[in-house]
Structure 1
Amino acid sequence: MHEPADIHRLFAERFAAADLDGLLELYAPDALLLPQAGSEVRGHAAIREALGGFIALGGRFTMAPPRCLRAGDIAVLHADWQLSASGPDGQPVHLGGHTADVVQRQVDGTWRLIIDNPWGDAVTA
């Protein structure tokens, strides 16, 4: 996580591996996640619960290489993503969006998510 774009690459790898602990390492302790439009969770415990629900779906997760806008110790990452899985009832579930994520360089030089918005501007539209 030495470059901002590492966050999306690692997120895709860790999500595909169902590595929830590894995913949480990508977030600052007080990070904000928007797991769905109109919903916000903050902090590792709440993010763990929200991401655990998506991981429990299984399926295939893909994320395009990010576009990165960087200014000093802050960067905004944009990328398209898709999750195809089966719901608890066995019906197909297809989710996807365009991220608008904010990452920040930490004191140790690594980058962490401070705002994870997988829905992009759809949450404000």
Structure 2
Amino acid sequence: MENELINAVINANNAAVGKGDMDAILATFEENGALVGQPGQLAQGALALREAFAGFMAINPQISVIEHEVIQAGDIALHSSTWKMSGKTPDGHPIEQSGFSTVVLRKQGDGTWLMVIDNPFGDHLCKASGLA
């Protein structure tokens, strides 16, 4: 049951990004949640998240989770997944990316789950060292 609730948050975030719905995106994060917009670039808090996602949504990204796993320890969960993303640059050139995402979520007092840290570049160290 908890895995389904956790996966629902991830799916809601991806769907909101695809629709360009900033309020729905932010609703999947805790108030001081963080996003790794690029390796080494952390956006934390609603204002920074809004700015990071606004730039990302400019390419009209469509994100698909390929495989995923949830590890839960009490009110903390780690969602790991492989993903694919397609979009278009502002001048119309197609963009295709894929990777490995790690997301830390926390169970809220009302039983819902929200993202604390979203790192869609969880494999960047493997790629940088030639292991992926």
TM-score normalised over the length of structure 2 = 0.84
Partner AA of 1:72 in structure 2? G
**Where does structure 1 lack aligned partners over 5 or more consecutive residues?**
none
The residue that corresponds to 2:113 in the other structure is 111
Alignment of 1:86-105 (within 5 A): 86-105=88-107
**Where does structure 2 lack aligned partners over 5 or more consecutive residues?**
none
Alignment of 1:49-68 (within 5 A): 49-64=51-66, 66-68=68-70
Partner AA of 1:96 in structure 2? S
The residue that corresponds to 2:16 in the other structure is 14
The residue that corresponds to 2:27 in the other structure is 25
| Residue 120 of structure 1 pairs with residue 122 of structure 2 | yes
Between the two proteins, the alignment pairs up a number of residues equal to 124
Distance 1:31 1:83 in 2: 22
**Greater relative contact order structure (CA < 8 Å, 6+ sep):** 1
Whether the 8 Å contact between 1:8 and 1:66 is mirrored in structure 2 is no
Deviating beyond 4 angstroms after TM superposition, the runs of 4 or more aligned structure 1 residues are none
TM-score normalised over the length of structure 1 = 0.88
Shift of 1:103: 0.2
Distance 1:4 1:15 in 2: 17
The residue that corresponds to 2:37 in the other structure is 35
Shift of 1:51: 1.0
Q: Return closer, same or farther for 1:42/1:4 CA change in 2, 3 Å cut-off.
A: same
Residues 98-123 of structure 1: per-residue CA shift (max 9 Å, x gap): 11110000122211100100111315
Distance 1:123 1:106 in 2: 31
Partner secondary structure for residue 67 of structure 1: strand
Distance 2:26 2:40 in 1: 22
Residues 37-56 of structure 1: per-residue CA shift (max 9 Å, x gap): 11111001111111111112
Aligned residues: CA RMSD = 1.8
Identity %: 31
Distance 1:59 1:99 in 2: 16
